[in-house]
Chains A and B, each alone.
Chain A
């Protein structure tokens, strides 16, 4: 696999909501017109977002970018409404202004040797997978996705993945196979020519992906979770532990900032247990 691309200069803009969608039970998707951010946003990068009316909230909220359309100047974010921040974002309608910082973090590398990619996600974790699938479609890289959710109504992103040519395997918690993600992924890994696995939204799926990467000698990248304040490296709040490796030469577990070293880390560097 090629090395992880470097961070790029980010933009601070007030964009406009171009459209607001309800994609599945509780999942909102905003299409945001923010041309410089959309143009610069690589696969796996994220944005910090806030609504102009933010009440007594302080911090912007981080979202992995779902999809970009540089020609239209738009990027999309997908989120589940959880707290006051996502409630305020969910209330935005087409034409409303929205503050955006981005693109932040590092893009994920993609195979350059003709091998395909496996995309593994749960819930809103499908966001970076759609953006990666977009990149794969442009570069002619095959992609296959495991999209997990608690129930059928909560499955999200599947149509958009399929439109991008991805073979999608939905998996809900009522399916007995949901207990055995390693089996599913191992079957895929054994039966095809894959170069890398990307996983987001579930620690359990991340562990499964790691095991499969080890067994089949695949590169893996996991999107890490952290409480984040700034998004661009000055607050040092979003520390995540990283194991010793090429990115951590200290020989022991150290901290990396999810915002500048991530949001995706090589799966062997992440602490998942």
Chain B
């Protein structure tokens, strides 16, 4: 971007972005399941700095989650098999949603389930609530013992998003799975079926074996890999989708520092989610926002939107930069 620097240095660049119908004050938010709803870290930073708050996926009924061990560290990565413990929608509506609404930022409710009816039922329930800005459909958690993720198939994704689309008028964000042979086809299926944006992506199926005990470490043998190790792979997925489709993408995969966020934005993501980094640095989200702001100032950009898709070939850039994209 040399030679394109504006004359007036932007000391407080505009961080707001448009993700489909949603305007976010900043392009950084937690990843579902990696933050609860922020109560544990509310004493460390002002949660209203985030572009949105997203809950740990609410399931149609109470679930205990998976047996231990649930987490395992590997080189630059974390393998988890948490299994979405949930207290169900009643507890969510009573205790978590009011806190989310109190934060002064966008409220995105992550819903999950094992059937289309589960998702549609939760979507209808959330549609009847005040103060929800969008739903994120978790189509890709690899840790349900009961069924394979919807997002492994374009047909299952299309059918599910369609069913949810009929149940609510709320903006829908489809959270895709990374371990597929044709991510663009599945992304296209979600958008055709009525999704307003995509979250790309989830953890990568993985496992670890205890070589002393000679058995898998995790209670359910396999889990999902997250953390710095996966970022280059998820970056490629975001790049592919943004290159091929007019779909607003929220990137989710290994964002640990502001540099990771900048990379995803340059690839064409309109926002990023921060997951595993919250575990190791509870201040990761404000640190990333501060670093992103400093990067924009250093390079003379007045708006974060100036860098969205800026690493893409020139012929794609105008299309990617359109807020409606």
Chain A interfacial positions (CB closer than 8 Å to B):
9, 12, 50, 56-60, 101, 226-230, 232-241, 254-255
Q: Which positions 12-70 of chain B face chain A at CB distance < 8 Å?
A: 33-36, 40-41, 43-44, 56, 64-70
Q: A237 and B82: CB pair below 8 A?
A: yes
Please provide the 3 A-B residue pairs with the shortest distance between their CB atoms, ordered closest to farther: A237-B71, A230-B279, A227-B69
Asked if A9 and B43 sit within 8 Å, CB to CB, the answer is: yes
Cross-chain contact B64 with A59 (CB below 8 angstroms): no
Is B117 an interface residue, CB under 8 A from the partner?
Answer: no
Task: Let me know if B282 and A239 touch, CB within 8 A.
Answer: no
The A/B interface has a contact count, at CB < 8 Å, of: 85
Taking a contact as CB atoms under 8 Å apart, the answer to whether A239 and B76 are in contact is: no
A/B interface sample: 11 pairs, CB < 8 A: A58-B76, A228-B71, A233-B36, A234-B278, A235-B71, A236-B33, A236-B65, A237-B70, A239-B67, A240-B68, A255-B68
CA gap between A157 and B256 in the complex, in Å = 38
Q: How far is the CB of B142 from chain A (nearest CB, A)?
A: 15
A232 to B35, CA, bound (A): 10
In the complex, which range does the number of interface residues on chain B fall in? 35 or more
CB-CB < 8 A to A101: which residues of B?
A: 282
Chain B binding surface SS class: loop
Bound complex: CA A234 to CA B33 (Å): 8
Q: Are A235 and B279 in touch, CB under 8 angstroms?
A: yes
Which B residues are in CB contact (< 8 Å) with A238? 68, 70-71
Interface string of B66-104 (1 = CB under 8 A from A): 111111110111101010010000000000000000000
Given contacts A56-B76, A234-B36, contact A255 B65 (CB under 8 A): yes
CA distance A254 to B66 in the complex (A): 10
CB-CB under 8 A from B82, the residues of chain A are: 235-237
Which of B71, B76, B82, B217 gathers the greatest number of chain A CB atoms within 10 Å? B71
Q: A227-B69, A227-B71, A239-B70 are in contact. Are A12 and B40 (CB under 8 A)?
A: no
Most chain B Cβ neighbours within 10 Å, of A227, A229, A232: A229
Give the residue name and chain of the B residue nearest to A54 (CB): B280
Query: Contacts of B105 on A, CB cut-off 8 Å?
Result: none
Known: A60-B280, A235-B80. A254 touches B36 (CB 8 A): no
Q: Which residues of A contact B72 (CB under 8 A)?
A: 227
The answer to the question of B259 belonging to the interface, with a C-beta cut-off of 8 Å to chain A, is: no
